[in-house]
Every structure is written in structure tokens, then in C-alpha cells.
Structure 1
Amino acid sequence: MRNRLPSLSLSSCGASWSVNRRIVIVTGAVAVLLALASIVAVVTGSGNDRQASGTAAPAPSDGSPSSAEAVPEPSSGSGSVPKPPQIADPVAYAKAAAQMLWSYDTRATSRDRQLAGMRAWMTTETKYADWASVAGQVPDPVLWSRMADQDQHATAHVAEGHYPSAFKQALADDPSAITEAYIYVVTVNGTQQIAWKKGGGGAEERAVTLAVQCRPDHDCTLAALAPSVTQ
């Protein structure tokens, strides 16, 4: 029986999002993305009023996908979960985050340590963090235990990452809108290789859209996962 980790696939990542937070990065939400300032309000929901200030933003590329950009090699972290890389480029960080989300090892990492390791990737600005959308990628304790019984583990290969066209258009229409929270929308594509006892395994294509916060003069952090992929 194939005991793969369904919660780490894109198909289930929308389940933990609130209705308000789903509006921003769903496919076809061009009208919302064109009002770029609303990304902050919807991604974060009705949190506290904490906000940091900045003066400059990392500039998105000229429209071509950042597929040639290598995924950084983070140092070891909580169990099989790597520590977040110290980089200031939104696409590079999103690619590293996707690789982290698609990789796990129940042989070396408990569910609690998996969550702790993932939490380290999140922004500390609670106003802009949707931890539930990220934590929702980890299955419940019973399923994790069953996966561990089968020594289930997965590795990931990231093929490319890019800014969705709607996000690039929104930024071009109103460049200053990004400066409220410096949250960038990035879609990442890749492959997940899953293995378990007795030589079981298989590979599946993966895609995910992430909200990444990259304030000026600070390393990037993860803000949220989108419930569906934008192109």
C-alpha cells in the first residue's frame, strides 16, 4: 500500500486557509492582484496592527522565469527540515521553501519537529503570517505515525520559480503598493520523489504558489501558501 504524504501535495493546501485569505492568490484573481495593496490585507486577515517600514524593494525580474537560479543549500535544522537560507531574493527563497515543503523523512523527524522546522521559515511579523496554511501541509499525528511505520521519506527537485503574470502586471501598474508589506507572489514547479519500505516509491510533479516577504536589508521569510497555483 502506498503511504504517501498527501498533505505535502498542492491538492490539499487550501483546506486550512480562511475564506478571506483565499481570495488573493487563487487562479483567476487578477482583479484582486491588480489592486496589489490588498494582497497584504487578505493574506494576513484581521491580525494585529504591527507593521515595519522599508525604503526599497527587491526588484522582480524582467518577466522571464528564474529557472536558472540555483536553489540555495540551507544548513541542517530540525531533524530532516533544513534551516531557512539567508537570502534576499524572493524567487530564490520561494524555491528553497518549496523544496523544504516537498521534502521530509519520517525516519529521522517526528511530526512535532517537522512543524518546528517549518515554523522557522515563517515571517515573525504576525500581521502578515498565515502559519495555518503552512502547518496544514503536515498530516495529522495518526497518519504521520503510519507513515513512520513504513519509513516513508521524500526528496524534491525544484525545476523553476517565477512571478505569476498577474502579480508582475499588478506591480508594474502600481510599483509603490508593494512597499506596505513587501510580500511577493511566487509560483514554483518541481518534482517530489517518495520512497518507503521494501523498495516502494514513485515520483510526482509538484507546483505551489507562495507568498514571500522580503523587506529591504532583511532576509526573506515565508508568509503563506496559496490554495491554488497562479501562472
Structure 2
Amino acid sequence: MRQKRFFDADGGSRTSSPLRRILIGAVLLAVLTAIAGLLAFLMRQDSPDPAKGSVSAAPSPASPSPQAPSDEGESVAPPRTGDPITFAKAAAKALWTYDTRSSSQDKHLADLKWWMTDGKKYADWKSVTDQVPSAVLWSRMRDNHQHASAKVGEGHFPQAFKSALAADPAAITDAYIYAVTVTGKQSISWKGSGAGAESRSTTLAVQCRPHQDCALAGVLPSVAP
């Protein structure tokens, strides 16, 4: 299933090519048979985050919050939660929702940046920005008052991720990154018209360290069932 879809000012569609750079090794999830394969990819740069502990630990006290985005347009704050699925569903809604009438592309990107993990080793910002229309396309969409809303259905851990985690439960403590697949519907409208509701599905990488709120690490290049 396609990861994203935008409509230009003439009502046409533009679908992105598959994401080509994955920092967090999420591309391996579709064929993952052991969590060690994922961790080997995650560990290819610097030493891992030293935080260790139970993955079910409650997120309190929360980590310092990133700087809030500007007041231009409406901003949706990331939820304060240690549940990867709850966070992923909220993040997917943020990714599928935009309003070119009241927000610039820079502001929209700033809002999404607010959701990202502060761990530079694991944050794949480009995989997120690739979900956003280019500045030129955003301008065309704004001329036509294009905006999109989203309704999230359900979220779950992909089967490959669950199998890998069951094979080596302790391995998750190196990065505390969870794969979560979210489904829902996106409605796109422009100049009083609409394209109806289109089914959406995406797999996100969510980092949920013990005693800290979850944060977005990246968007996988394909949907993991």
C-alpha cells in the first residue's frame, strides 16, 4: 500500500517513491527473523543509548519536552504516553493531517519535528519530511485551499516485530524502538470540494525509553503487516 498521497492544485495526484535511507533499520522488519538483525543495523554508528530497564515501566517523570512550534495555525502536541501503540496512532494522525490554508510548509515541518526523538542516532528525520509536500507543491496546494483530515482506526505491532521480540526479549533494551503499523482514513478537500475518504496505512518506528514519553523515530519505507 502506498505510504502517502498528495493532490496538487489541479486535482491531480503525486505519489512518492519508496524511502531510500533508513537509519533505524526499519526496512528489515518485513523479513525480520531475529531481533539481532535489527539491532546490528541500529548499532552501526555510535554506541547505543545507555538507558536500560523494563519495557513496561511507566513514563514518569517525563523527559524534557522539545521546544513547542510557533503559533501560526493549529499545532497538535504529542501525547504524553509510554505506550508505543497509543503514540503511533497519534503520530500517524499528525502525519496524515495538514491545512495549507492556515499553515506554511515550514510551520508544518516544525510541528512534526516536535514529535521526533531527541536521540540523534535513531532519529530518521528525512523519512518524516519525505511524507510532506515540497515547498513548491505546498504553494500550489495553498492556492487551492487544500487541506486534509484523518481518522485513525487501529494500531498494532507487526507480526515480524512480535516474532523477533519473542525470540530475544532483552534485545529491545538497546534502543527501545518499536515498530507499529497504523491504519485509518484520510479525507482531502480543496475549494469547497473533497476527494472523499481514502484508506491509509503506515508503519512507524517509535522510541519509548523507560520512564520517558514516547517519541517518533521515523517512518518505515513500506507497511509491515
TM-score bin (small chain): 0.7 to 0.9
Superposed, 1:66-77 pairs within 5 Å as none
**Counting helix residues as a fraction of each chain, which structure ranks higher?**
1
Letter in 1 for 2:144: Q
CA distance in 1, matches of 2:85, 2:69: 21
In the TM superposition, what whole-angstrom CA distance separates every residue of 1:146-191 from its partner, at most 9, and x where no partner exists? 0000110001000100001111111111100101011001000000
Q: Which of these residues, 110, 113, 119, is aligned with residue 116 of structure 1?
A: 110
Superposed, 1:1-231 pairs within 5 Å as 1-2=10-11, 6=14, 12=16, 14-18=18-22, 21=25, 23-25=27-29, 27=30, 29-31=31-33, 34=34, 36-42=35-41, 44=42, 46-49=44-47, 51-58=49-56, 78=70, 79-231=73-225
1:81–1:100: 8 Å Cα contact kept in structure 2?
Answer: no
1:155–1:193: 8 Å Cα contact kept in structure 2?
Answer: yes
CA distance in 1, matches of 2:69, 2:153: 23
**Percent of aligned pairs with the same residue?**
48
Deviation at 1:93, TM superposition (A): 0.4
CA distance in 2, matches of 1:138, 1:45: 28
Deviation at 1:2, TM superposition (A): 1.2
Deviation at 1:121, TM superposition (A): 0.5
2:155–2:181: 8 Å Cα contact kept in structure 1?
Answer: yes
Letter in 2 for 1:160: E
Letter in 2 for 1:136: D
CA distance in 1, matches of 2:193, 2:145: 11
When the two chains are superposed, the root-mean-square deviation of aligned CA atoms in Å is 2.3
Q: 1:77 to 1:47 in 2, by over 3 A?
A: same
CA distance in 2, matches of 1:140, 1:18: 20
Letter in 2 for 1:55: G
1:211–1:223: 8 Å Cα contact kept in structure 2?
Answer: yes
How many residue pairs are counted as aligned between the two chains? Answer: 204
Deviation at 1:139, TM superposition (A): 1.4
Q: 1:226 to 1:146 in 2, by over 3 A?
A: same
